Amino acid sequence: MNTLVMKRAGLAGLAGLLPGPRRGSWVLLGLGVALLASLIWSSGQGAFGLPLRELPAVLAAAFTTYWWPGAERSAAELVFFNIRLPRLVLAVAAGAGLGVAGALMQGLFRNPLADPGLIGVSSGAALAAAFAIVLGSLWWPEVPLALGTWPLMLMAFFGGLVVTALIYTLSLGDGGTRVGIMLLAGIAINALAGAGIGLLSYLATDEQLRNLQFWMLGSLGGALWEAVLVVGLIALATVALAQRLARPLNALALGEAQAVMLGVPVERLKLACILLTALVVGAVTATTGIIGFIGLVAPHIVRLLAGPDHRWVLPGSALLGAVLVLLADAWARTMIAPAELPLGIITALVGVPFFLLLLRSAHARTL
């Protein structure tokens, strides 16, 4: 209990130290620095003995082989550029995407417990992935569909979009979308997708079951440069576009009627939030499987530090999400090396207790 009180004083004190009106920009700056630091630190982490101090040499060598392609590439160079670097970029893209999507959802539902899973993106992607893994062998018998294969990624991406569209359509009423109905429809459709996944895993062979299980636990092991770049661009675009929704979301926080009176096109705002979330979470989930709790935890922490203004919460959540996924993945890659832990296990294992602690210590006031 004592530590809880101290934690609370610590966080509140930290936020209080920052100058009032510009607190948000200080928090963003701090998170930016944290992202840079964790990016540099985790590029030196990994099972392959390639510590940080050897990186400059590897980069220089890569520069040489790039301009003089005849030269032999060293093992360290191959590992860094083909395996570790795409993984770091994917971690940043996935974390930023999940973080900003979480902030959008919490803003849209005006509920700090909302997360991107609520509008069915993750469960839709999971159902489609299960479908591809278990029944895909009927169409592509020669390709075992596992994490990081293209048909699986495309299926998961469109699965997420279709289920989100379904939930959105279900929530449409006479006067536009009703957020309460959307919430309930989301829960119901998620349960339905869960049943579908259960049925498919019953039909699955041992091999398919394992592939499905590892997909559901999430991993950045599927970091192929092509996929990484696509996800990276989508995440970047989402973070940029989301910034334009910050002020309307601030108005929405006052209530839907008030937002309308302030001249916010509420229906368009909702649709934009849902579209962006579905797009970015769909793309991330399709490449990495399910990574939980980033979308829930990142916006919370940013709100504690910077206050509820979406102009800070949205980009802050993207930065913090990226930091969290980078650190969690560095752990996943090294903890039981040469084997590797599924990332989703770590984000849940570390994310949940931390989240509960936050709830107990600091959120009693703001919830």
Partner 1 sequence: MSQTVHLRATAAAVDAAAAPALTRRACTLALVALATGAAAASARSPRLITVGGSLTEAVFALGAEAQLVGTDTTSLYPVAAQATPKVGYMRQLSAEGLLALRPDVVLALAGSGPPLVLQQLRSARVQVELVERRHEWDDVRRTVQAAGRATGRSAAAQDLLRRLEQEWTRVRAQVQAYRGPTPRALFIMAHGGSPLVAGGQTAAHAMLTLAGARNVVAGFNGFRPLTAESMAAAAPDVIVTTTQSLQAVGGAEGFWRRPELALTPAWQRRHSGAALWHQDALALLGFGPRLAQVLEALHRGLVAA
The only residue of 336, 353, 356, 360 in contact with partner 1, by rule CB under 8 A: 336
Instruction: Based on DSSP, count helices (H) and strands (E) in the chain, helices before strands.
Output: 17, 2
Query: What residues pair up with 177 in beta bridges, in sequence order?
Result: 172
345 binds partner 1 (CB under 8 A): no
Least gap, CB of 88 to partner 1 (angstroms): 12
Distance of closest approach, residue 37 Cβ to partner 1, in angstroms: 22
Pull the structure tokens for residue 294: 């980033």
Q: Pick from 12, 83, 236, 271: which binds partner 1 (CB under 8 A)?
A: 83
Binding window for partner 1 (CB under 8 A); candidates: 43-51, 54-62, 97-105, 294-302: 43-51
Number of CB atoms found within 10 A of residue 5's CB: 10
Rule CB under 8 A: choose which of 1, 17, 339, 367 binds partner 1: 339
What track of x and - describes contact with partner 1 for positions 156 through 195 (by CB under 8 A)? ----------------------------------------
Q: How far is the CB of 289 from partner 1 (least distance, A)?
A: 11
Task: Classify burial at 166, counting beta carbons within 10 Å of its beta carbon; exposed 0-12, middle 13-18, buried 19 or more.
Answer: middle
Closest approach, Cβ 279 to partner 1, in A, equals 23
Residue 47 found at the interface with partner 1 (CB under 8 A): yes
- Alpha-carbon span 88 to 357, nearest angstrom: 28
Phi, psi at residue 244, to the nearest 5°? -75, -15
Q: Which of residues 248-287 bind partner 1 (CB under 8 A)?
A: none
**Residue 341, CA distances (Å) to 10, 60, 221, 292, 297 in order:** 32, 32, 10, 15, 21
Hey, what's the torsion of the CAs at 236, 240, 241, 245, to 10 degrees? 140
Calculate helix-pair angle for 23-43, 310-334, nearest 10 degrees.
20
Q: Does 340 bind partner 1 (CB under 8 A)?
A: yes
What residues line the site for partner 1 (CB under 8 A)?
A: 46-49, 75, 78-79, 82-84, 143-144, 146-149, 205-207, 210-211, 214, 219, 221-222, 224, 333, 336-340, 342
